[in-house]
Amino acid sequence: MPLKTRQSSNIQGALLLLALVGGVVYLALREAPPSYEVAIPIANGTPTASQPSWQEVLQQQFVAGATALPQAALPTASYAPPTLEPTDPGLVFALEPTQLFGTVVPTNTPLPPPPSPTYIGPTPIPLATSSAVEVVNVAGGERRWQPPPLPLPISRDPRDHYWLARPVDSSAVNYGLFYYSYGSDGPEDAWRVHHGVDMPNPIGESVRAAGPGTVIWAADGFRVELPDGSIAETTYSYGNTVLIEHDFGYRGQPIYTLYAHLSAILVTRGQRVQTGDIIGLVGDTGVVTGSHVHFEVRVGRNSWYAVRNPLLWMVPYVGHGVIAGRIVGPDGELLDDQDISIIDRRTGRVVQTASSYVRVDINKDGLPDVVADDAWNENFVAGDIPEGQYQVVARIDGTRVARLVEVYEGTTTFVELAPPEQVTPQPASDGAGS
């Protein structure tokens, strides 16, 4: 028995020793440095255009040690837009939308007015004050690759409301025409101030609901119905138009989206739609010089005077953000119709230009017709900016004003451009105190 006990003790001792050695080896391995090195550079000094950002350095290191992704050959076939004449009445049917989408409202055939108006109409839409309302000549033009939009909805900043999908697919042009942005009056200041964004596309491109809701208008022109049911005005400058009242609101206010100049309307009034449902086809009906969809966002009431910048509502692309800002004068007053450049800090290249809002019409509430966002109170927006650092540059009274900003994915970066502070010369110190 004692022998057996001693043997048992020896075995227990050996096991204990093994456990101790194992534990030490485990701890040593656990504390061992990884077999690769990641040097995170520490920012020092003033960033320069030639100094890569730490994200780039990290990315280079990770890429260097990573398995290469398979390379996919980009398609080389060029897109051939439809060549049918825009005015061809058979166009809609040549596209055979009935087979694709069911019921079709033919071009230029207004729906009969509803038997009993159920919604209170908007403020009448002013007619064009210049010869052309929408001047777009790039239909069927070159398409560029666009990243897919981020998943909806996004409010990474509490002030953000990227809740709406883009009304056109990523395979088409689903960004606004840069020279006729929201609130601008176009090149040469010759066009009517824009209350939406224009997405130039060939006739027949799908137009999709930006969010879930109910179709409250689906007809040629835009009829204004007063509370007593009478028709106050009909304007056909919008062409075939769909209006959706969305299922969600914003700060207690309803939200509407409008899609104009369609070649075909594929929904009917009162119909429920979900985000992405095809509601019509891009066209050139109404007052236009090229096919596109005019997209408006209205907040609070269904009025031409209640528009907001769609760039602050449509979800950004993957890896992209939005710059919103104010350009103000010496007394903090908003400056209209100013050019703003967004310059990549590293390359020094202008990646985008923006124009501050032109607020020409004052409505009955004494407010300008181009409305700023409820949260941002901006007077310019530059959308679709890749993540990174940028200089936002403008001239105020002949003085160049620049601000360095950082753009993050799926959120808004706000910047204010103001004249430099007037530095009052200090009297030379003579030691006499204050």
- Name the residues that contact Zn ion, by CB under 5 A: 134, 196, 198, 294
Ramachandran assignment for 95, one of left (phi > 0), alpha (psi -120 to 50 degrees), beta (any other): alpha
CB closer to Zn ion out of 121 and 200: 200
Least distance from Zn ion to the Cβ atom of residue 296, Å? 8
Q: How many CB atoms lie within 10 A of CB 249?
A: 12
Helix (H) or strand (E) holding 215: strand 213-225
> Smaller CB distance to Zn ion: residue 223 or 292?
292
CB of 266 to Zn ion, least distance (A): 20
Q: Residue 98 or 289: which CB sits closer to Zn ion?
A: 289
* Nearest distance, CB of residue 177 and Zn ion, angstroms: 8
- Residue 388, H or E segment: strand 388-396
Which residue, 196 or 213, is less far from Zn ion as judged by CB?
Answer: 196
C-beta separation of 260 from 241 below 8 A: yes
Q: How far is the CB of 208 from Zn ion (least distance, A)?
A: 17
Closest to Zn ion by CB, 134 or 169:
134
CB of 167 to Zn ion, least distance (A): 12
List 418's β-bridge partners, or say none: none
Query: Burial level of 111, CB count in 10 A (0-12/13-18/19+)?
Result: middle
Tell the residue number behind the tokens 């369609």, with chain if given. 262
Do the bridges between strand 412-417 and strand 320-327 make them parallel or antiparallel, or are there none, so unpaired? parallel
Residue 200 or 410: which CB sits closer to Zn ion?
Answer: 200
Among candidate residues 204, 176, 427, 180, the one with its CA nearest the CA of residue 322: 176
Burial 406-434 (b: 16+ CB within 10 A, else e): ebbebbbbbbebbeeeeeeeeeeeeeeee
Neighbouring residues of 113: CB distance < 8 A, sequence distance ≥ 6 = 223, 231
User: Closer CB to Zn ion, residue 196 or residue 283?
Assistant: 196
* Shortest distance (Å) from residue 405 CB to Zn ion: 28
> Taking the complex as a whole, how short is the minimal distance between the CB of residue 136 and Zn ion, in angstroms?
8
Residue 217 burial (CB count, 10 A): 25
Are 267 and 283 in contact by the 8 Å Cβ rule? The answer is: no
For Zn ion, give the closer residue by CB, 196 or 316.
196
* Closest residue to Zn ion in the complex (CB): 294
Three-state DSSP class for residue 219: strand
Tell me which DSSP letter residue 89 carries: T
Smallest distance, Zn ion to C-beta of residue 369, A: 14
